Amino acid sequence: MYIRPFPTAALTIGVMCNALPSSGLAQDAVATFFKGRQITVVIGSSAGGGYDTYGRLLSRHLGKHVPGNPTVVASNMPGAGSNAAANHIMTAAPKDGTFMAIVFASVIVEPLLGERGRQKFDAAKIAFVGNANKEVFMCAVRAQSDLKTFQDMRKREVVTGASAAGGATVDFPTMLNTFMGTNIRIVRGYPGTREITLAVEKGEVEGACGLAWSTTSVQYPRTLQEGQPLRLLLQEDMTGHPVLDAAGIPTSGQLAKGEAERQALALFYAQNLFGRPFIASPEVPADRLAGVRTAFNAAMKDPELLADAKRLNVDIIPNSGEEVQQLVAQMYATPADVVARVRKALGQDK
């Protein structure tokens, strides 16, 4: 498990921003409101998955850091790729600070890069409480493959396993085909990541792209050692994960051949930076949102939460709510021609 602290400068800015609405009487008002109340963390996936793990992990430790020490409970609301949970938070749930949700990153980028029209809210206006972990996706092949490096994937067709359209195991290799010169044939129809990696092990397919390191590292804890079922060839990310960087696994950002390709990949991979985002309605009063954001930051550094994360073998690489808010604003300000290239690559604008 790797735990990266908040960047000093960003944390300082976040603390200063949060201190303004949460000081003095405002802080007392937030504590008075939350005292004796309950905060519900809606989890936009089914029980037992990675999002469920992070949602329940935060729920166990958040309350002691929120002014007034409210009770915090977790509740699963799967459906529509976390859009069911997001729609609930943005349209139906109380807007008083007592509801937040952890949702798939695709909820945030879908209106920009994916399907448009199925959300009942403006994703660009989501208020972010914070993000618990940066995600890094990977390309891997079975250990018996003659592919030794990512450069080898540019030399011949590679058959990879995938789930359904819109999933990471489809979209990530599609981006590699369009912008990095690979010839990946994507075989869809596997229910999930576990079934895909088992298909790789059995030789049904040669590999898979769009595999999350946070999941793979749990399923295959010794995957970076010799003799393991999977061989990692690429980090589908601009900067990479420290553990994978140390192991010498290159990133797409390093291997992209031109500026146009780097711009498109940077836009698509921006969602990796908020792999486990917690959201709230923008209508939550500013002082309460600031109080919950500050509590989230504190929880992400709480020794008890970090001990739980270590026991669960999950990474904590957090971003503050303000940082995620800025990242999303930058994404939505991306030049239209870059957005159009990515959407075309993903089959959204034909």
Question: Domains in the chain, start-ordered, CATH in brackets?
Answer: 8-134+275-345 (3.40.190.150), 137-270 (3.40.190.10)
Question: What six digits make up the tokens of 296?
Answer: 């989230």
pTM over 0.75: yes
CB 147 within 8 A of CB 158: yes
pLDDT of residue 41: 98
pLDDT of residue 22: 43
Nearest CA-CA partner of 54 in 228, 314, 294: 314
pLDDT of residue 1: 52
Gap between the Cα atoms of 72 and 42, Å rounded: 11
pLDDT of residue 3: 52
CB 57 within 8 A of CB 41: no
Gap between the Cα atoms of 172 and 341, Å rounded: 15
Q: 300 CB contacts (<8 Å, ≥6 apart)?
A: 6, 130, 132, 316, 318
Gap between the Cα atoms of 72 and 61, Å rounded: 8
Sheet containing strand 230-236, edge to edge, reads 183-187, 157-161, 207-212, 137-142, 230-236
pLDDT of residue 47: 85
Q: What residues form DSSP beta bridges with 161?
A: 187
CB 130 within 8 A of CB 324: yes
pLDDT of residue 225: 85
Gap between the Cα atoms of 247 and 217, Å rounded: 13
Q: What is the mean pLDDT of each run of 10 residues along the chain (350 residues)?
A: 46 44 71 98 88 95 98 93 92 98 90 81 94 95 96 97 83 95 94 89 96 87 86 96 95 93 94 94 98 98 97 93 96 94 86
CA distances from 175 to 26, 237, 238, 303 (A): 47, 11, 13, 39
Residue 3's Cβ-count burial label (10 Å; 0-12, 13-18, 19+) is middle
Kindly provide the b/e burial profile for residues 191-201, where b requires at least 16 CB atoms within 10 angstroms of the residue's own CB: eebeebbebbe
